[in-house]
């Protein structure tokens, strides 16, 4: 009996993911732009800025993400969120409202929480990006991540990466946060499931463990 | 977002050389090859994502050196560079000590993530948040259209809209920080392409909808905000700020009030009272100021001033709640001074 998953046609169809398709389409556009305008890959930061515009086609930039410098091809309109998700496959960063209103896309820029959806990848410059993938160290979850599991601080999970980013930033910068401090830190993070009380408990518990 | 090129400006002159339009000009009547400024980019990217703004080039003014400083001098006052972020203002101890209402307004504006990116220049220059203005499907007055959708007494969703000076556009200004800045009699320093510079009081920086439907401030294409100045407080200057929102977490203002007073004991010698989310631009209530000046700061006088501020209020079909909300918020903000 023929098994469906052994059918070569259905297998090849499965290997084309939506994200892979988006990235592939982006790269082929980039290739054509590079050819027609005869511009070689350039390091954005080292270019003289006066009297020179970048784009609108793709260019190769360097970006320091989670401690590693990556090369990627972006257009000026490529948001940081898209650069991370579609180009670097760091899909832990979620895009929900895409307008800076829900903070699901929270990453750190030089250690400060920002919305990756509301900036161009070119805005990063030589700043260091930290994503949710960079929070666990040497295979060990951060105490905030452990506490989120322990206190059931996640329902549908879509706000969770952004929520964790806000809470980790808090406990790393305030060793003894109050409930009000946790509320302040997560004011931008929308959770439609309403898991806030568990997020607060988890973060306060994690802060105690971090000390 | 449409395809656009990117210019990394290295100086104010460099940026002014490249720019040929403003977000406001483009929203009212778009041009083919618009080049516009962005700093933090929160408002600009919002418009581009909606497809209402299609720039050919974005000029990044965020990294221009020298526009990111805060300096305070007891004799000269406070200077805040246009590229200073809201987070930097919120954490500045001198601003908290000397300009409490500004500190409070900044702390209640936007989210922690946005405050780390949004700049003061961009905050006061951002366009209003009326959902019809922000919608591709509604060609309102502000976008060169022929009607105001919010005003309609039956279909207009106008619960967040203006109750004062709402004769033409009924939107409210998006910057609650501007409420506090105006109460402190701040000025905006604007440089132009001819190398000239002007200092404009906050009261004259904003343009009422009745004056010009196409813009909310006086900025022209070849102009850039470089600094915001606040005069030095005296030892008798006191200030307070309260913002009312629908949600406990961050939200846009339903009514916000900034009060800056010169006091003598428990009496008000002079008052600067500004209302946010009341009118299309931050609204200085001369009526409230006159009502409280040379009076003892107590509940009775504060309420009288608050009621005087609302004397000209003309609520729309769904926002009459704002009148009592402002009366209580103005009263409370004045009483915080004592």
* Phi-psi region at A45: left, alpha or beta (left = phi > 0; alpha = psi -120 to 50): alpha
Region of poorest pLDDT, from A22-31, A99-108, B238-247: A22-31
Distance from CA of B291 to the nearest CA of A (A): 36
A 5-44 near B (Cβ less than 8 A): none
Neighbouring residues of B12: CB distance < 8 A, sequence distance ≥ 6: B64, B67, B191, B224, B226
Query: Confidence band (pLDDT; 50, 70, 90) for A205?
Result: very high
A64 touching B (Cβ < 8 Å): no
Residue numbers in B near A104 (CB within 8 A): none
Residues in chain B: 338
Do B216 and B207 touch, CB atoms closer than 8 A?
A: yes
Report which of B166, B163, B159, B151 is spatially closest to residue B208, judged by C-alpha positions.
B166
Residue B305 has what pLDDT?
Answer: 98
B108 touching A (Cβ < 8 Å): no
Residue B248 has what pLDDT?
Answer: 80
* Phi-psi region at A110: left, alpha or beta (left = phi > 0; alpha = psi -120 to 50): left
Residue numbers in B near A99 (CB within 8 A): 46, 49
Do A133 and A64 touch, CB atoms closer than 8 A?
A: no
B181 touching A (Cβ < 8 Å): no
3-state DSSP assignment of residue B268:
strand
Show the tokens assigned to B200.
């404009």
Do A160 and A102 touch, CB atoms closer than 8 A?
A: no
A53 touching B (Cβ < 8 Å): yes
Task: Average the pLDDT over A25-40 and give the result.
Answer: 38
B 66-105 near A (Cβ less than 8 A): 87
**Cβ-count burial of B258 within 10 angstroms (0-12 exposed, 13-18 middle, 19+ buried)?**
buried
Query: Confidence band (pLDDT; 50, 70, 90) for A1?
Result: very low
- CA-to-CA dists, residue A193 to A106, A190, A201, B106, B145, angstroms: 18, 9, 16, 29, 39
Distance from CA of A203 to the nearest CA of B (A): 17
Query: Confidence band (pLDDT; 50, 70, 90) for A202?
Result: very high
The strand pairing partners of B275, in sequence order, are: B257, B283
**Which sequence spans correspond to the domains of chain A?**
4-95+119-125, 143-210
Report which of A131, A125, A139 is spatially closest to residue A43, judged by C-alpha positions.
A125
Residue A49 has what pLDDT?
Answer: 45
pLDDT over 50 (residue A14): no
The reply to whether residue A123 touches residue B60, judged by beta carbons under 8 angstroms, is yes
3-state DSSP assignment of residue A68:
strand
Angle separating helix axes A196-210 and A143-150, nearest 10 degrees:
140
Runs of H (alpha helix) within chain B: 12-18, 23-28, 42-50, 86-90, 93-98, 100-107, 112-115, 120-125, 177-183, 202-205, 286-292, 299-309, 322-337
pLDDT over 60 (residue A169): yes
A112 touching B (Cβ < 8 Å): yes
Q: Which chain A residue shows the shortest CA-CA distance from B15?
A: A50
Domains of chain B and any CATH numbers: 5-63 (3.30.43), 237-337 (3.30.390.50)
Residue numbers in B near A113 (CB within 8 A): 112-113, 116
Q: Which chain A residue shows the shortest CA-CA distance from B88?
A: A112
Residue A6 has what pLDDT?
Answer: 44
pLDDT over 50 (residue A199): yes
Report how far residue B293's alpha carbon sits from residue B49's, in angstroms, rounded to the nearest whole number: 47
Q: Which chain B residue shows the shortest CA-CA distance from A103?
A: B113
Q: Using CA of residue B112, residue B113, residue B119, residue B123, what is the dihedral sign? A: negative
Task: Spell out, as residue ranges, where chain B has pLDDT lower than 50.
Answer: none
DSSP-assigned letter for residue B294: T
Residue A17 has what pLDDT?
Answer: 58
Report how far residue A127's alpha carbon sits from residue A117's, in angstroms, rounded to the nearest whole number: 16
B14 touching A (Cβ < 8 Å): yes
Do B166 and B275 touch, CB atoms closer than 8 A?
A: no
Residue A48 has what pLDDT?
Answer: 39
Residue numbers in B near A129 (CB within 8 A): none
Neighbouring residues of A62: CB distance < 8 A, sequence distance ≥ 6: A43, A44, A45, A69, A70, A71
Residue A211 has what pLDDT?
Answer: 58
Q: Which chain A residue shows the shortest CA-CA distance from B47?
A: A99
Does the model's pTM come out above 0.80?
yes
Residue numbers in B near A177 (CB within 8 A): none
Task: Average the pLDDT over A72-101 and give the result.
Answer: 97
Residue A56 has what pLDDT?
Answer: 95
The reply to whether residue A50 touches residue B10, judged by beta carbons under 8 angstroms, is yes
A 145-174 near B (Cβ less than 8 A): 166
B230 touching A (Cβ < 8 Å): no
Backbone angles phi, psi at B160, to 5 degrees: -100, 5
Residue B297 has what pLDDT?
Answer: 98
Report how far residue A140's alpha carbon sits from residue A142's, in angstroms, rounded to the nearest whole number: 6
Q: Using CA of residue A116, residue A106, residue B82, residue A64, what is the dihedral sign? A: negative
Do B288 and B308 touch, CB atoms closer than 8 A?
A: yes
Backbone angles phi, psi at B89, to 5 degrees: -70, -45
The reply to whether residue B41 touches residue A188, judged by beta carbons under 8 angstroms, is no
Tally of helices (H runs) and strands (E runs) in chain B: 13, 12
The helix or strand, by DSSP H or E, that contains position B190, with its residue range, turns out to be strand B187-192
**Mind listing the pLDDT tens digit for each residue in B152-166?**
999 999 999 999 999
CATH topology of domain A143-210: DNA polymerase; domain 1 (1.10.150)
DSSP-assigned letter for residue B218: -
Q: Which chain A residue shows the shortest CA-CA distance from B13?
A: A50
Query: Confidence band (pLDDT; 50, 70, 90) for A53?
Result: confident
The reply to whether residue B41 touches residue A187, judged by beta carbons under 8 angstroms, is no
Report how far residue B151's alpha carbon sits from residue B162's, in angstroms, rounded to the nearest whole number: 10
Report how far residue A167's alpha carbon sits from residue A126's, in angstroms, rounded to the nearest whole number: 25
The reply to whether residue B41 touches residue A50, judged by beta carbons under 8 angstroms, is no
**Mind listing the pLDDT tens digit for each residue in B195-246?**
999 999 999 999 999 999 999 999 999 999 999 999 999 999 999 999 999 9
Residue numbers in A near B114 (CB within 8 A): 100, 115, 118, 188
Residue A2 has what pLDDT?
Answer: 43
Residue numbers in B near A79 (CB within 8 A): 45
Q: What percent of chain B has pLDDT over 70?
A: 100
- Residue of B46, B112, B115, B174 best to disrupt the A interface, most CBs of A under 10 A: B112
Residue A134 has what pLDDT?
Answer: 98
The reply to whether residue B7 touches residue A53, judged by beta carbons under 8 angstroms, is yes
CA torsion angle A154 A159 A161 A163 (round to 10): -80
Do B243 and B216 touch, CB atoms closer than 8 A?
A: no
- Residue of B48, B111, B135, B246 best to disrupt the A interface, most CBs of A under 10 A: B111
């Amino acid at each position: 009996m023929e098994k469906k998953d052994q059918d070569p046609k259905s297998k090849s169809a499965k290997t084309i993911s939506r994200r892979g398709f988006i990235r592939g389409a982006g790269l082929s556009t980039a290739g054509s732009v590079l050819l027609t305008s005869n511009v070689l890959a350039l390091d954005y930061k080292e270019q003289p800025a006066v009297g020179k515009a970048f784009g609108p086609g793709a260019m190769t930039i360097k970006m320091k993400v989670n401690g590693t410098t990556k090369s990627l091809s972006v257009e000026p309109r490529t948001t940081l969120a898209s650069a991370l998700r579609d180009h670097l496959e760091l899909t832990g960063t979620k895009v929900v409202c895409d307008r800076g209103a829900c903070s699901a896309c929270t990453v750190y820029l030089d250690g400060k929480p920002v919305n990756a959806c509301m900036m161009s990848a070119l805005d990063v410059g030589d700043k260091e990006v930290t994503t949710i993938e960079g929070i666990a160290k040497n295979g060990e979850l951060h105490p905030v991540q452990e506490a989120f599991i322990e206190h059931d601080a996640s329902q549908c999970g879509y706000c969770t990466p952004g929520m964790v980013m806000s809470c980790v930033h808090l406990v790393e910068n305030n060793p003894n946060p109050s409930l009000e401090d946790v509320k302040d830190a997560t004011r931008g993070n929308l959770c439609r499931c309403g898991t806030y009380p568990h997020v607060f408990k988890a973060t306060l518990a994690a802060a105690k463990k971090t000390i | 977002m449409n395809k656009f090129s990117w210019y990394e400006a290295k100086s104010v002159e460099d940026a002014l050389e490249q720019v040929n339009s403003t977000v406001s000009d483009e929203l009212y009547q778009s041009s083919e090859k618009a080049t516009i400024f962005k700093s933090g980019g929160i408002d600009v990217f919002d418009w581009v994502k909606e497809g209402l703004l299609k720039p050919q080039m974005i000029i990044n003014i965020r990294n221009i050196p020298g526009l990111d400083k805060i300096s305070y001098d007891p004799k000269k006052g406070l200077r805040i560079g246009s590229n200073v972020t809201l987070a930097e203002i919120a954490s500045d101890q001198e601003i908290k000590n000397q300009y409490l209402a500004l500190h409070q307004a900044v702390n209640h504006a936007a989210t922690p993530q946005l405050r780390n990116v949004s700049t003061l220049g961009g905050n006061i220059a951002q366009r209003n948040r009326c959902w019809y203005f922000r919608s591709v499907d509604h060609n309102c007055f502000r976008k060169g259209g022929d009607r105001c959708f919010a005003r309609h007494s039956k279909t207009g969703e106008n619960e967040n809209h203006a109750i004062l000076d709402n004769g033409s556009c009924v939107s409210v200004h998006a910057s609650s920080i501007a409420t506090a800045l105006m109460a402190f009699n701040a000025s905006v320093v604007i440089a132009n392409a001819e190398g000239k510079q002007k200092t404009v009081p906050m009261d004259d920086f904003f343009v009422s909808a009745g004056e010009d439907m196409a813009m909310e401030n006086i900025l022209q294409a070849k102009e850039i905000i470089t600094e915001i100045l606040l005069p030095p407080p005296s030892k008798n200057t006191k200030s307070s700020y309260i913002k009312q929102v629908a949600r406990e977490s961050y939200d846009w203002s339903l009514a916000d009030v900034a009060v800056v007073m010169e006091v003598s004991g428990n009496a008000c010698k002079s008052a600067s009272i500004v209302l946010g989310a009341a009118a299309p631009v931050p609204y200085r209530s001369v009526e409230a100021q006159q009502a409280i000046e040379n009076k003892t700061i107590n509940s009775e006088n504060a309420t009288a001033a608050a009621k005087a501020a609302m004397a000209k209020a003309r609520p729309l079909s769904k926002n009459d709640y704002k009148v009592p909300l402002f009366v209580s918020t103005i009263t409370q903000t004045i009483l915080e001074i004592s």
